[in-house]
Chains A and B, each alone.
Chain A
Amino acid sequence: MTSSIIKFILNEKIHEIHNPDPNETILNYIRLRLKKTGTKEGCAEGGCGACTIVIGELKNNNIIYKAINSCIAFTPSLEGKQLLVIEDLMLKNGSLHPVQSAMVNYHGSQCGFCTPGFVMSLFSMYKNNSSYDVRTIEEAISGNLCRCTGYRSIIDAAKSLDNNEPDQFKKNKRKIINLLKKIRPKSISINNQNKKYFAPRTVNELKKIIKKYPNLDFLSGGTDMSLIVTKQKKTLDNIIYLNSIDSLNYIKENNKYIEIGATTPLRKFELFIKKHYLDFNVILKRYGSVQIRNVATMAGNIATASPIGDSLPLLLSLDASVVIESFDKKNILPLNNFFISYRKTKLKKGQFISSIRIPKYKKNIFKAYKISKRIDDDISSVCASFNLAIVNKKIKSIKIAYGGMAPIPKRAIYCEKMLLNSNFSENIILKAQKSLEKDFQPIDDMRASKNYRMEIAKNLLLKCFTEIKKNKLIRLNY
């Protein structure tokens, strides 16, 4: 059964939007329709965090609180969830939530415009963790820009938090869980002034819809695609939303590979992958912000096919493959053959990525590096990934991939050939570095010049091998 009514919890009550405009952002809904102006627009592209809200999701009879950017999320994605905005944190008697009190006591606001966003990011951190070390805090607010304070006061406010004292949300949790159970998400089908929007709940429904409407645009986290609306000022007339399909949100593993469902948020994957490929976790933690990674998905990252999508060179060097489905077919394609040209993939109309498989290499060395102007929440100048096996001091297998070096994320084939079956001599590394010039002809842009890109690509190779040789990391301690 499908519905065109979006139901969500607001102020501990069920709230309905009938047949909403599928291009309306949650931010505009909050500010222009609900007339709650505490949530701010700073950039309309998910880059400053002033619009941060928290979404409560029912999971295993519990509520998970996710900070997201409301400026690049569309209203139908509220279906079946709890919406928390800054005005909801203060109690009716005017007393502040512990996160708010801490921000006041530590002088964490100056001009105050970014502050609601910081409070919401810290609120979700507060709800989802029990202790707050500096790196947890930095990560929680890496998607929030403040131009006044210099952050020290905000970090100190966050450090002072202690969530052992139950807040009002803990006290009312049962009530909200019951409400969330009442509005368990339905399949959504909206037609608003010729703008279509589907949010199927199962893969079967999805397949039926794409059979009927093969020209729909797939929307997952929408952290890239929503900018068509908010920045280019165009409309997305035919949306099929994938993140409503719970059965695609999974991580499985067997002896040979790890399988990640298409709609698994990056945030969930980054925690999981740590035990297998530590550097994958390290890179993902610097990829976008928590707000972005709470909604952005692996499949979205792959289908977007950006040359600077940070998970892509890592997946390429791990020789991952994508499972592609259409309404009647399913096939598996190595990721290495998936990208055709700038932002073009082998995905045809009516096909979707259902999962990603990452092989397990038990004896290999896996290393990844990301170079950007800013450490957190910045787009790579170059991202490099190395996956190699060394037997008796000889390189027995090697896969190297780079992002930011070509119109697509790409393997360094010549470089790999140069290194395969060689030993670790400096001479070989020099030659391998040189061979990168055959693999890549990077471009100049506002992030980095082509010369710089080539040079760090070479230096990262050297860094990788020096780290292996010395069995020691050469990294800045951030």
Chain B
Amino acid sequence: MNKTVFIDEKRPHDSAIKHVSGLADYTDDINEPNGTLHGAIGWSKEAHALIKKIDLREVWKSEGVITVITTSDIPGRNDVGPVFNGDPIFPSKKVEFYGQPLFAVAATSTDLARRAVLKAKIIYKILKPIITIKEALKKKTFVLKGKTIQRGNPTNAILGSKNYLKGNFTTGSQEHFYLEGQVAFVIPKEDKDLLVYSSTQHPSETQQIISKMLNQKSNSVTVLVRRIGGGFGGKETNFLTSSICALLASKTNKPVKLRLDRDDDIIITGKRHDFYSDYEVGFNNVGIIEGLKIKLASRCGMSPDLSGAINERALLHIDNAYYLSNVQVQNYLCKTNTVSSTAFRGFGGNQGMMAIENIIDNIARYLEKDPAEVRKNNFYQKNNKNITHYGMKIEDNVIQEIFNKLIKKSNYKKRYLNVKKFNMNNKYLKKGIAITPVKFGISFTTIHLNQAGALVHIYTDGSIHLNHGGIEMGQGTNTKIAQLVANAFGLPYEKIKISSTNTSKVPNTSASAASSTTDLNGAAALNAVSKIKENLEKFVKKKYNIKNIKNVIYKKGVIRFNKKLFKFDSLIKEAYLNRVSLSSSGFYSTPKINFNKKTFLGRPFLYFCYGASVTEVTIDTLTGENIIDQVDILQDAGKAINPALELGQIEGGFVQGQGWLTMEEINWKPNGQITTFSPSTYKIPVASDIPKKFNVEIFKQGKNKENVVNKSKTTGEPPLMLAMSVFYAIKDAIASVGKYKVIPVLDAPATPEKILMSLNELKNRINYRNK
């Protein structure tokens, strides 16, 4: 990579033309060979019960049914848990959540398969389910042991502080609602080999889990993924669909497609962890936190899945952008009879950050100060107060610059006053405004996952085939990595052909997750490029006897060795004829990072992403309805490879976060039945919900201090947390009803109902005081 010139090229997503014309193939669109069968899953109607009897006679008899599989059909490992056991494909004795798969059928059509599974008769012995975090805390049921981490002496610090607050706070669950639901298509090949197409963020683990299930070697299973219709974490460890599909294909020796109906998808697959926190905080008169004790409990569902890592990330982000001198965090990973909670953009970080933002907001309201000032007072500093509670020195801090710039750019101070003025003049409609910062750590906190591979071929006509371990799920990683490769070879983008992610081309990949897909796979691709370049250069230097050359320059289809120029295509042909290898794998592993999970100390992150957002809202105090009047965002994307795609990630992440914190609400009945499992009962934002004014800017001074491709910074997860300002703007509007003298109690999501209830509670407290 040229050290001074960076790629900064807006270009459409590599599949944009195919997207808009219906020509982009997703798993369900792949042409089916004759005789393809279609699957459906039969699942538990109880959340916690012993299975007395599964009577499938009517299912077998149902029209079009070719086979039915149950737990006894699994030759190998009956578990899809990625890290720990606990996620049986079909449990044999006990069901642990409403929606847990119990059996599956393959039939001649999807419709017939789905009709067939409804005919099962299952007799349960019902056990009492544990559904909520509070029940689990009371009964002490956990999926994994919690951690206590501490710095300094928070108990003493709180005792010594001038001011003290305590309280609790909840953030809600969230359904991924990727538009393409879970789907897999498995084609049996010779030697019991399986070709698996799956809508997954993690092809390598899909391969391993299917192999283990079938008692076969990994080399007998190949997983292919061209693109997926959204993932957001919901396709990181959901291996049930592909495993069941593979089992059906293996048993019938026929191609089988398994596509979940949307209702089944929401019922069967995991969601975001909801979190409950209890805190005590001591602070001085300018709102600087002197001591903090916080308990973080999350609903993990019936199995560990990724809950360990997710809760760890919550601990690692309990500081957001704030220096916490004396802090203790204890966490509780609650086991409940609900579907196992799983990865979702933010991965626990967002839940931790919301907890601290709520505390800071309450401190500001207690001191009757502008929360923006209290936030600033607590920020990490550059030269002191720059060590996190897990012992990592922050070397790339730009939060002050971003925050101050955004305050100016958004005219925050004036609008803050205008909001107060508006509220004095309006009885029922109230406005609120808030600015919140984001600091988000980048890298998998499980260190060994920070590796990636790629494969680059140059064909004799000079065209380039690019393959890497990342999954294209809308984020544009294929486009950006192709831009990197094109730039490295000095070729037009069109010369690069991006191909399906394929476990037989790049093995042992990590999930496309943790915001690091382009960082890792892009670097691996560049590594492959540099190896091919090495071959080429060695050949040219020898053949043309070129010495004393520092840089070979690849530009505009020409390769320059000092004064000697070669056209790229001709040199490739020449190299081929001279038996030079024009293909290479590439590899990358993230440097510098280390983390001791026992002491909770180290450097878990290569770098941090920073951003900030200002939101202004109006609420209707008679109904709790609300609208977002304006949002201003400033986000650090480093030297963005493709600013157009980054902008899309920032806006999309924000709106997804807005949904999480306002309208998206999952409901479980006390018996564990989920009641929000379709777009008619679970509402994600639509076009009219987005901010009426939506000003999004990439921080122009941004540049990654670390050696990341193009000195860019990821925009995968961080923008989700920009939506925190929506929540605190709503809280600000509620506070206006108490003349900013009373701290509102508001949990997320701030639905119209929660807003109205918060207003009522606030008014009741004021009335009580006045009595």
State which residues 43-93 of A face B: CB under 8 Å.
Answer: 43-45, 47-48, 50, 85-87, 89-90
The answer to whether B20 touches A376 (Cβ under 8 A) is: no
Query: Contact mask A152-189 → B, CB, 8 Å, 1/0?
Result: 11110000000000000000000000000000000000
Which one of A109, A141, A151, A375 lies within 8 Å of B19 (CB-CB)?
A: A109
Q: Is A128 an interface residue (CB 8 A)?
A: no
Q: Is B103 an interface residue (CB 8 A)?
A: no
State which residues 440-459 of A face B: CB under 8 Å.
Answer: 445-449, 452, 455-456, 459
Q: Is B461 an interface residue (CB 8 A)?
A: no
State which residues 8-37 of A face B: CB under 8 Å.
Answer: 28, 35-37
Q: Is A6 an interface residue (CB 8 A)?
A: no
Which one of B13, B18, B118, B752 lies within 8 Å of A371 (CB-CB)?
A: B752
Q: Is B667 an interface residue (CB 8 A)?
A: yes
The answer to whether A45 touches B679 (Cβ under 8 A) is: yes
Of all chain A residues, the one with the shortest Cβ separation from B262 is: A43
The answer to whether A233 touches B688 (Cβ under 8 A) is: no
With A111-B227, A154-B687, A476-B618 as known contacts, state yes or no: A456 contacts B24, CB within 8 Å.
no
Q: Is B620 an interface residue (CB 8 A)?
A: yes
The answer to whether B622 touches A456 (Cβ under 8 A) is: yes
With A149-B652, A153-B651 as known contacts, state yes or no: A375 contacts B230, CB within 8 Å.
no
The answer to whether B22 touches A39 (Cβ under 8 A) is: yes
The answer to whether A42 touches B181 (Cβ under 8 A) is: yes
A105 to B228, CA, bound (A): 22
Query: Interface centre among B26, B179, B227, by most A CB within 10 Å?
Result: B179
Q: Which residues of B contact A371 (CB under 8 A)?
A: 623-625, 752
* Nearest CB on A from B201, distance (A): 12
The answer to whether A104 touches B227 (Cβ under 8 A) is: no
Q: Which residues of B contact A448 (CB under 8 A)?
A: 753
Of all chain B residues, the one with the shortest Cβ separation from A458 is: B622
Q: Is A107 an interface residue (CB 8 A)?
A: yes
With A38-B23, A107-B647, A152-B651 as known contacts, state yes or no: A373 contacts B683, CB within 8 Å.
yes
Q: Is A348 an interface residue (CB 8 A)?
A: no
Query: Contact mask B244-266 → A, CB, 8 Å, 1/0?
Result: 00000000000000000111000
A132 to B232, CA, bound (A): 32
Q: Is A474 an interface residue (CB 8 A)?
A: yes
The answer to whether A86 touches B686 (Cβ under 8 A) is: no
Query: Contact mask A264-295 → B, CB, 8 Å, 1/0?
Result: 00000000000000000000000000000000
Q: Which residues of A contact B19 (CB under 8 A)?
A: 103, 109, 112, 115-116
Stretch from A336-344, A377-385, A406-414 contacting the other chain: A377-385
A344 to B663, CA, bound (A): 31
The answer to whether B16 touches A452 (Cβ under 8 A) is: no
The answer to whether B651 touches A149 (Cβ under 8 A) is: yes
Q: Is B178 an interface residue (CB 8 A)?
A: yes
Q: Is A194 an interface residue (CB 8 A)?
A: no
* Nearest CB on A from B673, distance (A): 11
Query: Contact mask A110-126 → B, CB, 8 Å, 1/0?
Result: 11111110010000000
Which one of A45, A47, A100, A110 lies within 8 Å of B13 (CB-CB)?
A: A110
With A45-B679, A110-B652, A148-B474 as known contacts, state yes or no: A476 contacts B22, CB within 8 Å.
no
* Nearest CB on B from A351, distance (A): 29
Query: Contact mask B685-715 → A, CB, 8 Å, 1/0?
Result: 1111110101010000000000000000000
Query: Contact mask B102-136 → A, CB, 8 Å, 1/0?
Result: 00000000010011001000000000000000000
* Nearest CB on B from A8, distance (A): 19
The answer to whether B476 touches A233 (Cβ under 8 A) is: no
A221 to B181, CA, bound (A): 26
Q: Which residues of B contact A379 (CB under 8 A)?
A: 680
The answer to whether A452 touches B756 (Cβ under 8 A) is: yes
Q: Which residues of B contact A104 (CB under 8 A)?
A: 12, 16-17, 20
The answer to whether B21 touches A90 (Cβ under 8 A) is: yes
A126 to B323, CA, bound (A): 53
Q: Is B177 an interface residue (CB 8 A)?
A: yes
Q: Which residues of A contact B28 (CB under 8 A)?
A: 37, 40-41
Q: Which residues of A contact B552 (CB under 8 A)?
A: none
The answer to whether B665 touches A113 (Cβ under 8 A) is: no
Q: Which residues of A contact B504 (CB under 8 A)?
A: none
With A38-B23, A376-B688 as known contacts, state yes or no: A44 contacts B623, CB within 8 Å.
no
A35 to B30, CA, bound (A): 10
A477 to B630, CA, bound (A): 12
Which one of A107, A137, A233, A466 lies within 8 Å of B12 (CB-CB)?
A: A107
Query: Interface centre among A38, A96, A113, A445, by most B CB within 10 Å?
Result: A113
Q: Is B523 an interface residue (CB 8 A)?
A: no
A119 to B111, CA, bound (A): 28
The answer to whether A151 touches B622 (Cβ under 8 A) is: no
Query: Contact mask B201-236 → A, CB, 8 Å, 1/0?
Result: 000000000000000000000000001111010000
Which one of B18, B476, B623, B756 lies within 8 Å of A110 (CB-CB)?
A: B476
Q: Is A196 an interface residue (CB 8 A)?
A: no
Of all chain A residues, the one with the shortest Cβ separation from B266 is: A43
Q: Which residues of A contact B753 (CB under 8 A)?
A: 381, 448-449, 452
The answer to whether B680 touches A47 (Cβ under 8 A) is: yes
Q: Which residues of A contact B644 (CB under 8 A)?
A: 107
Q: Is B626 an interface residue (CB 8 A)?
A: yes
With A145-B686, A373-B683 as known contacts, state yes or no: A37 contacts B114, CB within 8 Å.
no
The answer to whether B229 touches A151 (Cβ under 8 A) is: no
Q: Which residues of B contact A90 (CB under 8 A)?
A: 21
Interface size class of A (residues with CB under 8 A): 35 or more
The answer to whether A147 touches B686 (Cβ under 8 A) is: no
The answer to whether A151 touches B687 (Cβ under 8 A) is: yes
* Nearest CB on B from A235, distance (A): 9
Q: Which residues of A contact B667 (CB under 8 A)?
A: 446
* Nearest CB on A from B735, distance (A): 19
Q: Is A329 an interface residue (CB 8 A)?
A: no
Which one of B623, B655, B681 lies within 8 Å of A460 (CB-CB)?
A: B623
Q: Which residues of A contact B663 (CB under 8 A)?
A: 373-374
With A38-B22, A112-B474, A371-B752 as known contacts, state yes or no: A45 contacts B227, CB within 8 Å.
no
The answer to whether B21 touches A87 (Cβ under 8 A) is: yes
* Nearest CB on A from B635, distance (A): 13
Which one of B24, B684, B757 lies within 8 Å of A145 (CB-CB)?
A: B684
Query: Interface centre among B21, B645, B753, B760, by most A CB within 10 Å?
Result: B21
Q: Is A463 an interface residue (CB 8 A)?
A: yes
A345 to B60, CA, bound (A): 40
Which one of A113, A152, A456 lies within 8 Å of B179 (CB-CB)?
A: A113
The answer to whether B683 touches A446 (Cβ under 8 A) is: no
Q: Is A142 an interface residue (CB 8 A)?
A: yes
Which one of B118, B473, B618 lies within 8 Å of A111 (CB-CB)?
A: B473
The answer to whether A141 touches B686 (Cβ under 8 A) is: yes
Q: Which residues of B contact A103 (CB under 8 A)?
A: 16, 19-20
The answer to whether B678 touches A45 (Cβ under 8 A) is: yes
A439 to B339, CA, bound (A): 40
The answer to whether A36 touches B22 (Cβ under 8 A) is: yes
* Nearest CB on A from B228, distance (A): 7
A112 to B21, CA, bound (A): 10
Which one of B21, B227, B696 lies within 8 Å of A89 (CB-CB)?
A: B21
The answer to whether A37 touches B230 (Cβ under 8 A) is: no
Which one of B18, B428, B678, B757 lies within 8 Å of A474 (CB-CB)?
A: B428
The answer to whether A45 touches B20 (Cβ under 8 A) is: no
* Nearest CB on B from A415, distance (A): 17
Which one of A50, A100, A146 lies within 8 Å of B21 (CB-CB)?
A: A100
Query: Contact mask A191-215 → B, CB, 8 Å, 1/0?
Result: 0000000000000000000000000
Q: Which residues of B contact A39 (CB under 8 A)?
A: 22
A99 to B19, CA, bound (A): 12
A456 to B624, CA, bound (A): 9
Q: Which residues of B contact A149 (CB under 8 A)?
A: 648, 651-652, 655
A327 to B654, CA, bound (A): 57
In the complex, the 3 A-B pairs of residues with the closest C-beta atoms, listed nearest first: A38-B22, A113-B229, A111-B474
20 examples of A-B residue contacts, CB within 8 angstroms: A43-B262, A47-B680, A48-B179, A48-B262, A90-B21, A107-B13, A112-B229, A113-B229, A141-B687, A144-B686, A148-B648, A153-B647, A155-B687, A233-B114, A375-B625, A379-B680, A381-B752, A452-B624, A452-B756, A463-B623
